[in-house]
Amino acid sequence: MLDLAALRTYLIIKTLFGYLMLSYVLPLAIALILIAYLAGKPYWREHQRNKIKAEPFKKEWRKILQQRMPYFRQMPADLQLQLKGHIQVFLAEKDFVGCNGMVINDEIRVTVAAQACLLLLNRPTNYYPKLRTILVYPSAFIKRQSKVTGGIAHSQQVTLAGESWDFGKVVLSWQDTVEGADIPDDGRNVVIHEFAHQLDQETGRANGAPILAKGQNYQAWSKAFLAQFQQLQQQAINGTPSLFDYYGATEPAEFFAVASEVFFEKPQDFWAKHPKLYKQLKQFYHVDPVHWA
């Protein structure tokens, strides 16, 4: 005979259990799993990156570095080793896409990665966390840009060697990338320029005030930067020669990128002419290229 009382009790317990599961236990379990995932993610990523760095650096990649990156030979041995590790991680995490018929190969990937990773030496880094893809054109590329003058919007064509977006992309001209790397002391390097923008963009829109190193303060940074930025603006108006490309006078973000190019490519001149700004960049980049011989 069916025991109705027992059945009723069973149904009540079952409903209550289902209610508790749905209302408390399940959300709590999901929250705990999510917390564990978020807390563990940086450690897991660090572990993966260390594994990648521990792999032997490919012979072919070393050849590319020697051919395409004159800085590499000048750098101290410990920095060379560090750079190779960064290149391995960078190439494992970032995608390269060829544009206008450009076919991506290791020569392109290693040459770009090596120069981009120069900016990450000696510091805790998350490898340009916003960046996902590097688009490579064979040479300078044309872009339509809108500009407002006198309240009227215009659309104009501009030719660019590189571009850095704050939502996951860097665009580069391969011809300019090769020239920038081949001539290590002309103060021009499109990869350094665009990846300096990436560092600047870690805090939002590029504005010449990236996240500074420990011990640096924004007051000293902006004082040193503003003095040189204003001087460059004046030099650009007067046509007076400057260590910095006049393009740096267009806005603080461009000045930071242009100054970064000169810091790595003409450190002796930079240090001799503008020691206060050089000191700020030396602290920011955690390297002193003056001593790279």
Please state the closest distance from residue 195 (CB atom) to Zn ion, in A.
11
Please state the closest distance from residue 233 (CB atom) to Zn ion, in A.
16
Tell me how far the alpha carbon of residue 25 is from its chain's centroid.
42
Number of neighbouring beta carbons within 10 Å of residue 92? 14
257 is an interface residue for Zn ion by CB under 5 A: yes
Q: How many residues form the binding site for Zn ion (CB under 5 A)?
A: 2
C-beta of 79 vs 257, nearer to Zn ion:
257
- Region of 172-180, 184-192, 254-262, 271-279 interacting with Zn ion (CB under 5 A): 254-262
Please state the closest distance from residue 161 (CB atom) to Zn ion, in A.
10
- Region of 119-127, 222-230, 253-261, 275-283 interacting with Zn ion (CB under 5 A): 253-261
| CA proximity to 46, closest of 140, 139, 124 | 124
Please state the closest distance from residue 285 (CB atom) to Zn ion, in A.
17
Q: What residue number has its CB nearest to Zn ion?
A: 257
C-beta of 88 vs 115, nearer to Zn ion:
115
Please state the closest distance from residue 176 (CB atom) to Zn ion, in A.
12
Q: Which residue has the tokens 């570095």?
A: 65
C-beta of 87 vs 172, nearer to Zn ion:
172
Angle between helices 59-68 and 174-182 (to 10 degrees): 70
262 is an interface residue for Zn ion by CB under 5 A: no
Task: In whole angstroms, give the CA distance from residue 31 to residue 291.
Answer: 51
Task: In whole angstroms, give the CA distance from residue 188 to residue 275.
Answer: 20
C-beta of 245 vs 254, nearer to Zn ion:
254
| CA proximity to 274, closest of 182, 187, 181, 191 | 187
Task: In whole angstroms, give the CA distance from residue 119 to residue 199.
Answer: 9
Please state the closest distance from residue 104 (CB atom) to Zn ion, in A.
23
Please, which of residues 5-64 interact with Zn ion by CB under 5 A?
none
83 is an interface residue for Zn ion by CB under 5 A: no
- Region of 18-26, 138-146, 247-255, 269-277 interacting with Zn ion (CB under 5 A): 247-255
Identity of residue 43: Y
Mask for 195-214, x = binds Zn ion (CB under 5 A):
--------------------
C-beta of 75 vs 257, nearer to Zn ion:
257
- The pair of structure tokens assigned to 191 is 């990869």
Angle at 210 between CA 206 and CA 211, to 5 degrees: 145
Q: Confirm if 256 and 211 have CB atoms less than 8 A apart.
A: no
Please state the closest distance from residue 196 (CB atom) to Zn ion, in A.
8
DSSP letter assigned to residue 220: H
- The pair of structure tokens assigned to 215 is 């011990």
Q: Which residues are bridge partners to 153 per DSSP?
A: 148
Give contact residues for Zn ion (rule: CB under 5 A): 254, 257
